[in-house]
Each structure stands twice: as C-alpha cells, then as structure tokens.
C-alpha cells in the first residue's frame, strides 16, 4: 500500500491527508506541536476566515504574480467545493458583509477540532510533538528522520507553513528541508502585518480608524493600489488595507530602499467635491471645516504638518492653501521604516519557487514523489480567507495526486 508522510498539521497538511485518504493510502501526519492546527485555531480573530465568496477570477487575481500557478489547484478545489466539502462533513458555514466565510459556530477552535476528528475517523495516523529533522530520498522512496526514529514512506507532502506567527510553532524549518532536497527558496518576508513609522506624531493618532481609504505604493516603477480599512497605531498604521499592501513594502525594506506609503484618506471625494465642500463651509475656520470630513485629530495633524493656521477662515485661506490641503488629504504620506515583523505577520511572502512545482499535482519537478502544499510555497494573498483557501486547494491537490501514484515498489 502507498505510504504517505504529510509534514505539517495546518490547513494544507490536514486537507492533503483528507484527500489522500480517499485514495486508500496509509497516511501519517507529523507536527511538532502537541495538537494539529495551532495557527488555524487563532485565525480570523478566533473565528477562522476559511475562505471567501468572491468569484473565481477575483480570487485568482488576488494572488498577484502567482495567479497562473494557483488557478489550477483552485479550480480543482475552489471556495464552493471547499464549502460543500465542509457541509458534507457536518460543518456549516456563514459569510459576513465582506464575503469572508467562517464556520457557523464562529469558532476557529471548533473548526480545527472537527477537522482533526475527521482525520481520526479516516484512520489517519497523527504524530504530534514530533518534529521532522531530515528527509532523505532513496530507492524505496523517502526516509523521514525524527528525534527518536527513522521511518520509510513512498511519498512525502511538505506542508510545514512558513515563518509567520512563530509562537504557533512556525519556524521556517520546511524551507531547510526543501533546500536539502534540491529546491530553491525565495527568501520569505513578513506579510499581512502592520507598518511602522518613526515619524513624530503618530502616537497621537493611535486608535483612530478609517472605514475606507486607498493606499498607493510604488512597486518596480508601477503604482499598486489597495482599498480598505486603515487603523492608526502608536507605531504607525495597520488595518486591512495596510496588511494587504505590506508584502510589497517588506520587499523594499529588505533592499533598504526609502519606503513610503501614500494614503488617500477620502477616496470617494474628488477635487471638485472638496472645492464645493469648502465653499459651503467658507464661513468656518479650517480646523472646523477639515474636522467635518475627517476625524478631529487627523484634521489637526494635517493642518499642523501643512503649517497652516487652523483658525484661519476657509474664505480667507486662498486657493493655494486649499489645494495644498487637498493634496495632503488625498496623498497622506507615511514614511515606513519597518514592518510588524514575524511575530505579527499572518503569512509569509516567499518560499519554495513555484517554477519547480507542478501546479496541477503540486509534485516537485525535481524529485518524483515529493509534493508541496500551503504557505511553504511562494504564494500569498490578501486578508479575508484567501490564504487558508490556497492552503486547502494546494493541500487537496497534493494529497489526491500522491495517493493515486503507484508506490515505487
């Protein structure tokens, strides 16, 4: 019988094992933690945003330059198929206004426990508190070495995750295992994390949130735009829009480039709209007028940075000052000196090079019988269930392919 080792017990590893079990293989899941799915149990603020209701094209585009790689596994096991699979297993899901899908229990721990229960019911061997130290390819398949023993398997699925949230056991050791087997790894950087700025004044804005803004960041000479919520923190900025653009910013910081993000604080307001607004508020002073469209502390900060007398009446400010205010509101510059780092990053951007992996089966193009799934691969998407879906899709593809392939002997 085909013996398959799944290294890593997160969503990618769990779904790889579940898919492989349908092919009647003997499966063992290895994980260094005392229980599987430690990271899954804290995702989505504790409610597990497992996928998203977006249509296929939107979903695939969200993975930027890796969209052509992810689409094969996604179409084979997309968000609708994942929801249907969970429903068949007795796990109902609901969605919020942003399209994020989660278990109806609103508990990521409950979801994790049910998935682990599914593994056990299918007779899958689970080895927790068991870190894999090495993988060696031989004529019979692969030798898996742990602290206490060496075991033989026909196929291996690497689903170890990346480096994000090291408190959950993520150390990036899977990258080392992949490299020892001959694979190339793009250096990972923290993604889906807040951005820090050393500029004086942000501490005074801490706690202020904007429901909708538009971020602009230059990537290789082209502007990238992300829309969503923004939160000012005592060290800089965070919130959904910031998290989604952080992968690009982190790359520039590695290259030690001067890095800045520009924020359109009022994306729904054009210049003519602002001119009309200031005409209607011409009898008020600038502080009162700007505070009418932005939170008071942000208004005060902008006026201070503009070196503008906030008691000056709008009618007396003149077109030059009004234009300058408009530019600051529509292009609020945040100089960035660091990200929130691995401790606060939700995912890793980087990993095993996709060109070395078959996008249909997730099998290595270098070593037959070796498969990859989830965050260990150089794929990452935005917040809102995209990354867990990618883990489930690639895991399912890897497990299914590994199970149908005949053992070497």
C-alpha separations of 89 from 93, 115, 118, 240 in Å: 11, 9, 8, 31
**Can you say whether the dihedral through the CA atoms of 84, 89, 95, 101 is positive or negative?**
negative
Residue count of the chain: 409
Going by the DSSP 8-state scheme, the letter that residue 39 receives in this structure is T
Going by the DSSP 8-state scheme, the letter that residue 230 receives in this structure is E
138-153: per-residue pLDDT in tens? 999 999 999 999 999 9
154-212: per-residue pLDDT in tens? 999 999 999 999 999 899 999 999 999 999 999 999 999 999 998 767 778 999 999 99
- The pLDDT assigned to 219 comes to 87
Contacts of residue 217, defined as CB under 8 A and 6 or more positions apart, other chains included, come to 223, 224, 226, 245, 248, 249, 261, 262
Q: Which CATH architecture has domain 194-340?
A: Orthogonal Bundle (1.10)
- Residues 260, 223 contacting (CB under 8 angstroms): no
- Helices marked H in 159-285: 173-180, 240-254, 271-280
Residue with token string 């001067």: 258
Alpha-carbon span 200 to 185, nearest angstrom: 38
38-59: per-residue pLDDT in tens? 999 999 889 999 999 999 999 9
Angle at 194 between CA 191 and CA 199, to 5 degrees: 130
CATH entry 3.40.50.300 includes domain 3-189+348-404: no
- In this structure, the strands spanning 3-7 and 155-158 are parallel
- The pLDDT assigned to 258 comes to 81
As annotated, the residues of the chain forming the CATH 1.10.8.50 domain(s) are: 194-340
Name which of 98, 76, 36 is nearest 386 in CA terms: 98
As annotated, the residues of the chain forming the CATH 3.50.50.60 domain(s) are: 3-189+348-404
C-alpha separations of 323 from 258, 272, 283, 319 in Å: 26, 11, 18, 6
- The pLDDT assigned to 199 comes to 79
Query: Has residue 409 got a pLDDT over 50?
Result: no
Name which of 321, 347, 359 is nearest 250 in CA terms: 347
Alpha-carbon span 125 to 153, nearest angstrom: 13
Confidence class for position 406, pLDDT limits 50, 70, 90: low
Confidence class for position 355, pLDDT limits 50, 70, 90: very high
Residue with token string 């492989």: 20
- The pLDDT assigned to 53 comes to 95
80-138: per-residue pLDDT in tens? 999 999 999 999 999 999 899 999 999 999 999 999 999 999 999 999 999 999 999 99
What average pLDDT is seen over the chain?
Answer: 93
The partner residues of 100 in beta bridges, in order of sequence, read: 52
Span 283-290, average pLDDT: 93
- Residues 30, 7 contacting (CB under 8 angstroms): yes
317-345: per-residue pLDDT in tens? 888 888 888 999 999 999 999 999 999 99
- The pLDDT assigned to 407 comes to 55
369-395: per-residue pLDDT in tens? 999 999 999 999 999 999 999 999 999
Going by the DSSP 8-state scheme, the letter that residue 407 receives in this structure is P
- The pLDDT assigned to 198 comes to 84
- The pLDDT assigned to 373 comes to 98
28-38: per-residue pLDDT in tens? 999 999 999 99
Q: Is the model's pTM score more than 0.85?
A: yes
Name which of 409, 405, 407, 403 is nearest 27 in CA terms: 403
Name which of 244, 250, 248, 251 is nearest 229 in CA terms: 244
Query: Has residue 284 got a pLDDT over 90?
Result: yes
Residue with token string 């508190």: 129
């Amino acid at each position: 019988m085909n013996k398959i080792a799944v290294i890593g017990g997160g969503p990618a590893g769990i779904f790889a094992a579940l898919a492989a079990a349908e092919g009647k293989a003997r499966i063992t899941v290895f994980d260094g933690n005392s229980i599987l799915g430690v990271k899954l149990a804290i995702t989505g603020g504790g409610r597990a945003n497992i996928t998203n209701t977006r249509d296929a094209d939107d979903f695939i585009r969200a993975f930027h330059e890796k969209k052509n790689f992810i689409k094969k596994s996604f179409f084979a096991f997309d968000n609708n198929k994942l929801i249907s699979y969970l429903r068949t297993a007795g796990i109902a899901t609901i969605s919020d206004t942003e399209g994020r899908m989660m278990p109806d229990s609103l508990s990521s721990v409950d979801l994790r426990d049910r998935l682990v229960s599914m593994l056990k019911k299918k007779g899958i061997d689970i080895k927790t508190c068991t870190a894999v130290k090495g993988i060696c390819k031989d004529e019979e398949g692969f030798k898996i070495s742990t602290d206490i023993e060496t075991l033989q398997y026909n196929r291996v699925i690497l689903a170890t995750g990346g480096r994000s949230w090291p408190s959950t056991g993520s150390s990036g050791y899977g990258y080392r295992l992949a490299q020892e087997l001959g694979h190339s790894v793009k250096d990972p950087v923290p993604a889906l994390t807040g951005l820090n700025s050393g500029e004086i004044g942000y501490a005074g804005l801490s706690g202020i949130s904007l429901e909708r803004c538009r971020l602009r960041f230059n990537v290789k000479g082209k502007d990238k735009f992300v829309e969503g919520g923004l939160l000012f923190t005592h060290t800089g900025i965070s919130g959904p829009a910031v998290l989604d653009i952080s992968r690009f910013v982190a790359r520039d910081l590695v290259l030690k480039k001067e890095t800045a993000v520009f924020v359109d604080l009022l994306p729904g307001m054009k210049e003519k709209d602002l001119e009309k607004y200031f005409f209607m508020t011409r009898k008020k002073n600038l502080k009162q007028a700007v505070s009418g469209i932005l939170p008071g502390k942000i208004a005060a900060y902008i006026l201070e940075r503009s070196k503008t007398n906030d008691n000056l009446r709008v009618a007396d400010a003149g077109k030059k000052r009004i234009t300058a205010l408009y530019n600051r509101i529509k292009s609020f510059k945040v100089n960035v000196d660091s990200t929130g780092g691995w401790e606060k990053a939700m995912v890793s951007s980087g990993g095993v090079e996709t060109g070395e992996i078959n996008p249909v089966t997730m099998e290595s193009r270098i070593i037959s019988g070796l498969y990859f799934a989830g965050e260990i691969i150089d794929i990452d998407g935005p917040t809102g269930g995209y990354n867990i879906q990618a883990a489930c899709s690639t895991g399912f593809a890897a497990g299914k392919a590994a199970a149908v392939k005949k053992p070497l002997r």
